Amino acid sequence: MKIGDNLYQKRCKRYNFNNQAHELTFSCYHRKAYLLNKQACDYLAEAIVMAQQKYSVDLWAYVFMPDHVHLLIWPRQEEYSISSILQTIKQSVSRRILPHLKTEAAKIESPFHFWQAGGGYDRNVTCRDTARQIIKYTQRV
The structural domains of the chain, with segments of one domain joined by +, span: 11-140
pLDDT of residue 120: 85
C-alpha distances in angstroms, 79 versus 15, 75, 91? 11, 9, 22
Cβ 48 vs Cβ 90: under 8 Å? no
Can you tell me the distance from the alpha carbon of 49 to that of 37, in angstroms, rounded to the nearest whole number?
Answer: 19
**Residue 79, phi-psi category: left (phi > 0), alpha (psi -120 to 50), beta (remainder):** beta
pLDDT of residue 56: 97
> Which CATH code, of 3.40.50.10490, 3.40.50.300, 3.30.70.1290, 3.30.450.40, is assigned to 11-140?
3.30.70.1290
pLDDT of residue 108: 57
pLDDT of residue 1: 47
Q: Which stretches of the chain drop beneath a pLDDT of 70? A: 1-17, 102-111
pTM across the whole model: 0.82
pLDDT of residue 8: 45
AA letter at 69: V
